[in-house]
Amino acid sequence: MEGEIYLRSPTLYIFKDEQLQLVISNEIENSLPLLSCRLKEAISGEVSLTFSIPSDHSDSQYIREGCWVVIRDMDGVCRPFVIIEENEVHDENLIREFTTEELAVNELNDEIVTDVRPQNTDARDALTRILSNAGSRWQVGIVDDLGIASTNVYYESVMSGIQKIIEKWGGEIRFRVTMDSQNRITGRYIDLFKQLGRKTGKRFEYRKDLTKVERYVDMKSLKTALFGRGKGEETDSGEYGRRITFKDVVWSKAKGDPTDKPAGQEWVGDPNALQQWGHWNDDGTRRHRFGVFIDEEETDPAKLLKKTWDHLQTINKPHVTYKMDVIDLEYASGGELKHEAVRLGDSVYVIDKNFAHDIRVEARVIEIDRDLLDPTQTKLVLGNVIGDIGSLVKRLQDELRKKVSVGDPISWLEGAIETENLQFERSGAYVYINNEDGILTTNRPKNDIDNPPDLAVQIRSAGVRIAAGRNPDGSYRWRTLLTGNGLIADAIATGRIRTDSVDIGDDAGRVLISKGNIIIKGGSLEVYSTSDASDNGVLIKGNRITTNFIKNPNFDNTPGEEWIFKEGSRYNSSKKVIELDGSETRDYTGVSQYFDVYHPRATFQALFKINVTIGSTPAAVRFYFWNYDKDGNRLADKSYTVPLPLYQDIYLLNRTIDFPVGTTRSRVYVQGDFKRDVTAAMELHWVKGFYEEYVTQQQIDMIPVDVHSVQAKPEIQQFNIRWQSPGLGSGVERKVGRISFNRRFSTLSSSGRIAVVLTPINVDSSYYVARPANIAEDGFDLWVYTLRSVGSGEREINGLAYRVDYLAHI
């Protein structure tokens, strides 16, 4: 419960596919021990958990990439993470080290908001609408009153939408989950606070709980004046031209404005910052340090001027931060010194009289790197956040991705050109000409030992090369070259490339587009496997894909109004599911959908949620297919019926169908039968399917077995396991035995795996967790972990195993 203090050795809850696999704690006898455990939090939103375990412990095998890790923080709040990196060290210690990121960030970056435009509303409403539009499992949690604002989120990730909320409404974010008494995750929440932390009066003093302090002063981002640029002005063609400015807006201090800004001036400056931090002129005056402020959405010049001034006030003085090694007295005292507690966002005091100038400062805790096993090794950062280049690059990438998607293809480039030109005009140049270097231009004198140049341009007879830094040995890092053979560069920013031929690819003939989109307006994309374009290849045009190899390889039918509904079925728009009623007089209740058939065999799946205890009443689900030829004649029907297990609340119906010869169109019925009157007895969440075969055997041999979710030979098996419980107490983990698959899976590629889903189906199925281990092509080890006591006798488990490959090597 939030508000309690957890000061014992940390406990980690390990989940796989939302099933608890393992509990790690140094306080549990014979448990997998923690060798290290650090929780790092930053006001900027970066949160991570790192931990290490011995690799030779038997339970170590249950932890791997993709597992979830839940830990209760110092206030008892459950913080969820996902393992994204593992480093295994094989020396005399045999250690596995894991790095995680927040589960919410991992999931919400993969959920898309299509179009949400919260206008003149509060942050809670905006966050609710973003999560609802994306169909996210994350819910709105605690949200402080942050006032009224507006924003637009258009084909962006949920995380991008949350960032927009923070930019427009303000506030600081926290992600958390809730868990019940059986350590099951029951809810996922996003909290938005006006400000994390509180003003505690906590004092860090040298020789008491402050073991080391470092003071950093950063002037790299300091500016005393800013040019302002707003949204591009829309042209008659629908594109965007030059950005708006506040050139014609006038400010006067005599009339109450923050500073004087005459008409015709495209920038606004801070005179006080100029006198203190401006560049020195030979005549004793100072000149401004200029920068550029861009607001992609602002269309009002007066508001743009105010926003530019407000941003200037955040960068018109050096950023000062303090990095400290401290003793976590609250943790070390076992909770007796609660007044010594420190949390992210707290305002605290630092006192150190051992510097040349005494440090007596009040600042916010903007970063905590807490050692959860050794409270003497906790580290804090106080003061203003200093942005790192990685964060800047990521934000630029996100902005570029967003602007491409909303039809503003060159506005980002215009802003980049404006910024680069301003910086170019204000940069210095030192020119050296000799037979060895040719013409060499640097940003600082070559002989400046204390501050050597790190930017250079060199011209020789062979061409031009540009360096944006130096190598560790002191030589220039030449990464951009222009020669008679062409241009070579790490990155090229351009608005348009006009050519009759583009040659893209590495020596192996591969083209990789990472984390981006390809947008073709008014044209088509043709891909050929031969240089003379003789294979007809793949043609993507409009909303059609034509190919020699695959035709409509898979389909995904989510519930909607377009389904064909019969009596006792309906679409629930609020839950985005199809509801099916039970009936004593009607055998089956269901819905149907038409689809085109291109191959003689396909596999179908339907996911149901059952809202009533079945008990001893017979119940079943089924697929029923009406098949037609190209002339509309009805061919033989196909049906597959499966009895429902007792008390199972989620059921995945999975069947492969061989269509009658000549089938070109089919109507699939997805139905349920309960033999009693129950409203909304079952919910249909989705129907998915994929074709199994390629056109020719030769083409099958040419294509890899698995290409993402499209499979040439998909492999999936359903099975039932019966095992004898000897009578197990609560908290017992036991290996039941080795389970063999009905059919051996084909050999996996280096990136593939076999996934196994296990569902206990007895009356006491919630008393224990079944999990697979040592999964191979022929079977797996079955383990059970009891959450409550399980009596003796036979138990049943339904299983589903399927092959997953993530990469294709063509």
447 found inside a domain: yes
Reading the block at residue 30, the tokens are: 């014979």
Q: Return the bridge partners of 509, or none.
A: none
Give the side-chain half-sphere CA count within 13 A for 441: 9
678 shares a domain with 600: yes
295 found inside a domain: no
666 shares a domain with 644: yes
Between strands 279-280 and 232-234, the pairing is unpaired
DSSP E strand stretches across 384-455: 430-434, 438-442
For residue 624, pLDDT over 60 is answered with yes
3 found inside a domain: no
Range with lowest mean pLDDT among 18-22, 483-487, 580-584: 483-487
Mean pLDDT of 540-547: 51
DSSP state of 149: B
90 found inside a domain: yes
Per-residue pLDDT, 632: 87
**CA-to-CA distance for 288 and 223, rounded, in angstroms?**
8
Per-residue pLDDT, 636: 92
727 shares a domain with 800: yes
Per-residue pLDDT, 208: 56
122 found inside a domain: yes
208 shares a domain with 352: yes
**CA-to-CA distance for 670 and 594, rounded, in angstroms?**
12
Per-residue pLDDT, 426: 52
For residue 388, pLDDT over 90 is answered with no
Region of 70 on the Ramachandran plot (φ > 0 left; ψ -120 to 50 alpha; else beta):
beta
Find out whether 415 and 243 touch, Cβ atoms under 8 Å. Answer: yes
Backbone φ and ψ for 634, nearest 5 degrees, come out as -80, 130
Distance of CA 317 to the CA centre of its chain: 34
665 shares a domain with 589: yes
Per-residue pLDDT, 248: 94
For residue 136, pLDDT over 90 is answered with yes
Per-residue pLDDT, 519: 64
Distances from the Cα of 597 to the Cα of 32, 555, 628, 708, angstroms:
53, 11, 9, 21
114 shares a domain with 88: no
281 found inside a domain: no
Number of Cβ within 10 Å of residue 630's Cβ equals: 9
Nearest 5°: the CA angle 338, 343, 347 is 100
- Confidence band for 403, pLDDT divided at 50, 70 and 90: very low
Give the side-chain half-sphere CA count within 13 A for 740: 3
Mean pLDDT of 776-790: 88
DSSP string for residues in 95-137: EEEEEEEEHHHHHHTT-EEEEE---SB-HHHHHHHHHHHHT-S
Mean pLDDT of 455-462: 84
Where among 468, 490, 512 does a domain terminate? Answer: 490
pLDDT digits (tens, 9 = 90+) for 287-316: 999 999 988 888 899 999 999 999 999 888
Where among 490, 516, 543 does a domain terminate? Answer: 490
Question: Which of 153, 173, 183, 213 has the alpha carbon at shortest distance from 72?
Answer: 183
Find out whether 128 and 140 touch, Cβ atoms under 8 Å. Answer: yes
Find out whether 316 and 326 touch, Cβ atoms under 8 Å. Answer: no
Query: Position 543: which residue type?
Result: N
Question: Which of 666, 642, 655 has the alpha carbon at shortest distance from 593?
Answer: 666
pLDDT digits (tens, 9 = 90+) for 737-761: 999 988 888 777 655 678 788 888 7
Per-residue pLDDT, 540: 59
Find out whether 103 and 45 touch, Cβ atoms under 8 Å. Answer: no
Per-residue pLDDT, 395: 42
| Cα diameter, the chain | 99
560 found inside a domain: yes
309 found inside a domain: no
DSSP string for residues in 499-567: -S------TTS-----S-----SSSEEEE-SSTT--S--EEEETTEEEESS-SS-EEEE---TTSEE-T
Find out whether 162 and 141 touch, Cβ atoms under 8 Å. Answer: no
For residue 358, pLDDT over 80 is answered with no
Reading the block at residue 621, the tokens are: 């689900």
Per-residue pLDDT, 374: 80
Per-residue pLDDT, 475: 82
Mean pLDDT of 5-33: 82
Mean pLDDT of 236-256: 82
Q: Looking at residue 147, which CATH number applies to its domain?
A: 3.55.50.10
Q: What is the mean pLDDT of the chain?
A: 77
585 shares a domain with 464: no
341 shares a domain with 214: yes
- Confidence band for 400, pLDDT divided at 50, 70 and 90: very low
Query: Mutual orientation of helices 411-426 and 389-405 as an angle, nearest 10°?
Result: 140
Of 468-472, 555-559, 665-669, 685-689, give the range with the top mean pLDDT: 665-669
pLDDT digits (tens, 9 = 90+) for 183-195: 899 999 999 998 8
For residue 484, pLDDT over 50 is answered with yes
- Confidence band for 261, pLDDT divided at 50, 70 and 90: very high
Backbone φ and ψ for 305, nearest 5 degrees, come out as -60, -45
| Structural domain boundaries, residue 207 | 199-219+319-387
pLDDT digits (tens, 9 = 90+) for 410-434: 444 555 565 566 556 555 567 777 7
Per-residue pLDDT, 3: 40
End-to-end CA distance of the chain: 52
Distance of CA 111 to the CA centre of its chain: 8
Find out whether 736 and 723 touch, Cβ atoms under 8 Å. Answer: yes
pLDDT digits (tens, 9 = 90+) for 65-90: 999 999 998 788 999 999 999 988 77
Per-residue pLDDT, 806: 35
Where among 440, 475, 490 does a domain terminate? Answer: 490
**CA-to-CA distance for 141 and 162, rounded, in angstroms?**
13
Of 805 and 520, more confident: 520
477 shares a domain with 377: no
**CA-to-CA distance for 515 and 680, rounded, in angstroms?**
41
pLDDT digits (tens, 9 = 90+) for 430-450: 777 777 778 888 877 777 666
Residues 311-321 as b or e (16 or more Cβ within 10 Å = b): bbeebbbebeb
Nearest 5°: the CA angle 189, 194, 195 is 95
For residue 104, pLDDT over 90 is answered with yes
The continuous run of DSSP H or E covering 464 comes out as strand 463-470
94 shares a domain with 40: yes
Query: Position 40: which residue type?
Result: K
Identify the residue whose tokens are 């707003």: 230
Per-residue pLDDT, 405: 42
Look at the alpha carbons of 300, 306, 310, 316 in this order and tell me if their dihedral is positive or negative: positive
Between strands 359-371 and 378-383, the pairing is antiparallel
Mean pLDDT of 173-181: 92
Number of domains, the chain: 6
Mean pLDDT of 212-229: 83
Query: Position 161: which residue type?
Result: G
Range with lowest mean pLDDT among 94-98, 333-337, 390-394: 390-394
pLDDT digits (tens, 9 = 90+) for 23-58: 998 888 788 889 999 999 988 888 999 999 998 888
Find out whether 127 and 171 touch, Cβ atoms under 8 Å. Answer: no
Per-residue pLDDT, 699: 34
Identify the residue whose tokens are 């955040």: 314
Per-residue pLDDT, 474: 74
677 shares a domain with 602: yes
Of 261 and 732, more confident: 261
- Confidence band for 538, pLDDT divided at 50, 70 and 90: low
801 shares a domain with 781: yes
**CA-to-CA distance for 19 and 26, rounded, in angstroms?**
22
